[in-house]
């Protein structure tokens, strides 16, 4: 799958990067930047990752010891000069950081829609729940696990989805899976998911380094769905079996907006990520 990483022509790449002015701020709920807002403990483990988004409330993702046999074993680590442009990354090895706010992201799946962008690199995935290796999610514990998530298969095939809480299925009409390409290991990628706003059936789209969708799906919105805490490194605050649905890999940046960014805004945001991290976009 190396062709997904090919450098576009110099003029095209220059045009895409030049088209961005600044990171879109309207609707920006979350900006986790591995170069900022990191707290390390005495063992140099990441215990707190503070969002840099200007929107209130200011959100922190913190260590979760509940469910772990060894305290702080769920803490990721910080890697300096990880990306092609020598930016740091947070390295997750079936680990997680969790936001304590129970409700701030609920509206995304109940009608407002969303856009997320991750600058990440994947490692070899380890045995857990088959083909569920999540790098973020706010699925609700128990019941029907409604919420949003971004994941990898065991072979590092990228996928994303939304769950509306009307059935448990993995996967069914209420819990669609939108699958992308297999990601090359140990290489940074710009990946993105969008869900359109609305209260009927709305479109989901998955992107790899391009405003052009790699795959699309349809999601029936349930305005009564009730997601839970957002986690990075796994699909939820999974205290009953932490790490079993988590990914192995690195996140240099994770951004989340309320609503589906327009194509122009998404192009701008991806251009900003490409310039900052030295990750090539795709025509």
pLDDT tens for residues 177-186? Answer: 999 999 999 9
Kindly list the distances between the CA atom of residue 112 and the CA atoms of 28, 118, 261, 280, in Å, as whole numbers in the listed order.
13, 20, 12, 30
Over residues 203-219, the mean pLDDT reads: 97
Q: Is 171 left (phi over 0), alpha (psi -120 to 50) or beta?
A: beta
pLDDT one-digit tens code per residue, 84-111: 999 999 999 999 999 999 999 999 999 9
Please tell me the predicted confidence (pLDDT) of residue 241: 83
d(CA 283, CA 265): 17
Asked which of 8-22, 47-61, 63-77, 190-204 is least confident by mean pLDDT, the reply is 8-22
Q: Which of 251, 225, 31 is nearest to 139 (CA)?
A: 225
Cα–chain center distance at 215: 16
- Name which residue leads in pLDDT, 12 or 157: 157
Please tell me the predicted confidence (pLDDT) of residue 12: 38
Please tell me the predicted confidence (pLDDT) of residue 14: 37
For the chain, give every domain's residue range: 2-277
Over residues 65-70, the mean pLDDT reads: 89
Residues sharing a CB contact under 8 Å with residue 143, sequence separation 6 or more, in sequence order = 165
* pTM greater than the 0.85 cutoff: yes
pLDDT of residue 54 exceeding 90 = no
pLDDT of residue 20 exceeding 80 = no
Q: Which of 28, 16, 235, 267 is nearest to 145 (CA)?
A: 235
pLDDT of residue 19 exceeding 80 = no
Q: CATH classification of 2-277, choosing from 2.60.120.200, 3.50.50.60, 3.40.50.300, 3.30.1330.20?
A: 2.60.120.200
**Residue 61's pLDDT band (cuts 50, 70, 90):** very high
Please tell me the predicted confidence (pLDDT) of residue 9: 31
In the numeric block, the tokens 């002015």 are attached to 21
- What's the longest Cα–Cα distance across the chain? 53
Q: Sheet harboring 60-62: ordered strands across?
A: 38-40, 46-50, 60-62, 97-99, 231-232, 133-137, 147-152, 157-163, 178-182
pLDDT of residue 79 exceeding 70 = yes
Beta bridge partners of 15: none
d(CA 278, CA 283): 16
Element (H, E) at 272: helix 263-277
Over residues 28-42, the mean pLDDT reads: 97
pLDDT one-digit tens code per residue, 127-172: 788 999 999 999 998 878 999 999 999 999 999 999 999 999 889 9
């Amino acid at each position: 799958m190396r062709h997904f990483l090919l450098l576009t022509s110099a003029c095209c790449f220059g045009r895409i990067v030049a088209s961005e002015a600044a990171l879109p701020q309207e609707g920006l709920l979350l900006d986790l930047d591995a170069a900022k807002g990191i707290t390390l403990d005495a063992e140099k483990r990441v215990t707190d990752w503070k969002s840099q988004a200007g929107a209130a409330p200011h959100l922190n993702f913190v260590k979760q010891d509940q469910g772990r046999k060894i305290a702080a074993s769920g803490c990721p680590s910080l890697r300096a000069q990880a990306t092609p442009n020598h930016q740091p990354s947070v390295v997750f090895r079936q680990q997680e950081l969790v936001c304590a706010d129970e409700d701030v992201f609920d509206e995304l799946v109940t009608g407002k829609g969303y856009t997320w962008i991750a600058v990440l690199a994947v490692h070899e995935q380890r045995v857990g729940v088959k083909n569920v290796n999540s790098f973020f999610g706010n699925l609700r514990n128990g019941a029907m696990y409604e919420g949003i998530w971004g994941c990898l298969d065991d072979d590092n095939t990228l996928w994303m989805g939304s769950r509306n809480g009307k059935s448990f299925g993995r996967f069914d009409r209420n819990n669609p899976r939108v699958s992308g390409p297999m990601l090359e290991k140990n290489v940074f990628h710009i990946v993105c998911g969008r869900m359109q706003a609305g209260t009927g059936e709305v479109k989901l789209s998955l992107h790899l380094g391009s405003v052009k969708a790699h795959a699309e799906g349809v999601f029936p919105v349930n305005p009564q769905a009730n997601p839970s805490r957002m986690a990075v490194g796994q699909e939820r605050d999974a205290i009953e079996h932490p790490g079993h649905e988590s990914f192995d890999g690195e996140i240099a940046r994770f951004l989340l907006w309320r609503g589906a960014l327009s194509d122009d805004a998404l192009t701008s945001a991806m251009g900003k990520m490409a310039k900052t991290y030295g990750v090539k976009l795709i025509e």
